[in-house]
Amino acid sequence: MNRAVDAGILDLARAGRLGAVSCMSLGPSFPEQVGALRGMDVDAGLHFDLTEGVGGQDSVVALRTLIVRAYLGRLAPAWVDARLQRQLDAFERVYGSSPAYLDGHQHVHQLPGVLPRVIEILQRRYGARMPWLRCTLPRSQPGVGLANAFKAQVIGALGAGALRRTVRERGWRSNDRFLGVYGLSGGAAHYARLLRRWLDAARDGDLMMCHPARAAAPAEGDALMRQRAAEFEVLSGEDMPGWLQARGLRIERQSRITPLPAR
């Protein structure tokens, strides 16, 4: 997305605080950072983008418009296919291998009209070597607040059930439940409180998303940069290992938790 986000992610990956890194493969900084990323013990996946237009190489639509078109059956398969193929091609060309997983910027990968195209193209390209897919079915998470819990339920309702059924029917891989949804505001203390609640709720195979970045000049960031920096402060802090240890948790690559089925 930008260099400040890259720097925060790479610092956390070096410190063993992340198990996966989602890459916007058309972004201008992706080729600059991929060498460092390749040597880290993380799953590198494609962050499929239909709404942000990072890199300016694709036409995009606003998220609300995309959701309405998806539920009205007005998404052109060729439009989705072209963008997914281009982003997969760019990931493979720059990273040197297929993505370990696929998720969506603003969770677009799970929408009606998008998910069927994702499934068909991934199966055609990778066959038995299918990447794992991010599922957004929320884990029950007491203490995060009604607004955050409601937002998590809404995200899950926009296609997580269909994705879960598809991966189970076909024997593909996914995370179990999803954590980390909140209003993307509130500062470091608020994020630390939420993070402890998510860790309390976490179970084997769950996935918690985060949005870290190193603090940067406004020109290099986005409207959420202050909160991204707050997330980085908490996730990189000295308390994080103790929070994990106290709950019997460890950060792991999803590809190790749910390995590829035997061929």
| pLDDT given for residue 263 in this prediction | 42
**CA 117 vs CA 107, 113, 214, 228: distances in Å:** 15, 7, 35, 31
Number of other residues whose CB lies within 10 A of the CB of residue 31: 13
Whole-model pTM: value is: 0.94
Beta strands in the chain (DSSP E): 20-23, 43-48, 101-104, 132-133, 178-179, 207-208
Mean pLDDT (10-residue bins), the chain, 263 residues: 92 97 95 92 97 84 96 97 97 96 98 98 94 97 96 98 95 96 96 98 96 72 83 97 97 86 49
Q: Which domains does the chain have, with CATH numbers?
A: 3-238 (3.20.20.370)
| pLDDT given for residue 218 in this prediction | 53
| pLDDT given for residue 257 in this prediction | 87
Q: Find all residues with CB under 8 Å of 3, minimum gap 6, and list them.
A: 29, 216, 220
**Spatial separation of the C-alpha atoms in residues 132 and 152, rounded to whole Å:** 21
